[in-house]
A and B are shown apart, each in its own frame.
Chain A
Amino acid sequence: MTDAIQVGSYTLKSRLLVGTGKYRDLDETGRAIKASGADVVTMAVRRTNLGQNPNEPHLLDVISPDHYTLLPNTAGCHTADDAVRTCRLARELLDGHNLVKLEVISKSRTLYPNVVETLSAARTLVEDRFEVMVYTSDDPLIAIELEAIGCVAVMPLGAPIGSGLGLQNTYNIREILDSLKVPVIVDAGVGTASDATVAMELGCDGVLMNTAIAEASDPVKMARAMRLAIESGRLAYEAGRMPRKRYADASSPETGLIE
Chain B
Amino acid sequence: MRPFLLKGIRMQVSVNGQNEEIEAQSLDSYLNSRLLLGHRIAVELNGEIVPKSQFSSVMLVEGDVLEIVHAIGGG
* Chain A residues near B (Cβ < 8 Å): 19-23, 26, 29, 42-48, 50, 52, 54, 58-60, 70, 72-73, 75, 85, 88-90, 92-94, 161, 188, 208-211
Contacts and interface: CB of A to CB of B under 8 A. Distances in A.
B65 to A, nearest CB: 13
Given A48-B16, A50-B16, A59 B49 contact: no
Interface of B: 15-18, 34-36, 39-44, 47, 49, 51-52, 67-75
- Determine the main DSSP class of A at the interface with B: mixed
B74 A43 contact: yes
User: Among B36, B69, B71, B73, which residue has the most Cβ atoms of chain A within 10 A?
Assistant: B73
A30 B18 CA distance: 32
B44 A59 contact: no
5 contacts: A19-B75, A22-B75, A89-B44, A90-B71, A211-B75
A41 B17 CA distance: 29
A45 B73 contact: no
Given A47-B67, A92-B42, A73 B74 contact: yes
A90 B71 CA distance: 8
B32 to A, nearest CB: 11
A20 B41 contact: no
A208 B75 CA distance: 8
B9 to A, nearest CB: 22
Given A70-B71, A89-B49, A161-B75, 16 more contacts: A19-B74, A21-B74, A26-B73, A45-B70, A47-B69, A48-B16, A48-B70, A50-B15, A58-B39, A58-B40, A73-B75, A88-B49, A92-B42, A92-B52, A93-B42, A188-B75
